[in-house]
Amino acid sequence: MKLAIGCDHGGLELAQAVRDYLKQRDIPFEDFGTFTKESVDYPLIAVKVARAVASGQADLGVLICTTGIGISIAANKVKGARASVCTNEECARMTRKDNDSNILCMGGNVVDAATGLKILQAYLDTEFEGGRHARRVGQIAQIESGEI
């Protein structure tokens, strides 16, 4: 499994905890930044991660901004991206299991590092269930392509 990760200045501290966690577990990732507290525009980070995931360059993505909301909205503009804001482990499990989410979004001001890492682990450990959920994920793709 390879991840694509990115953050803006509001998610920098949580992103550093994620980077450290992935390194400790030898999980490969491509890091699209940012690396300083200097203000950056989160849509530009989100699109890089979302395109990496949608193209298959990465299996899953992780995006972090102040709340996780703005960066998820931007990521979801990329065809094939299914970015979900998660604030707890149950949300992380359910968005993978039911929605086949391929990008985890979190907020640096919403979850602390310990909670964020638990959310990340739950997200990574959960597989898409398929079945009736596959039909719904297919319908999301039809909305994206204009068929619905």
Cα separation, 9 vs 76, whole angstroms: 20
65, 86, 91, 105: the catalytic one is: 65
| Residue entry with tokens 């319908």 | 139
Compute φ and ψ for 121, nearest 5 degrees.
-65, -45
Indicate the SS3 state at residue 105. strand
Cross-strand partners of 31: 5
**Assigned token pair, 91:** 């949300």
Annotated active-site residue 7? The verdict is no
**Assigned token pair, 35:** 């690396």
- Which CA distances in Å does 24 have to 18, 51, 124? 10, 26, 15
* Catalytic site positions: 65
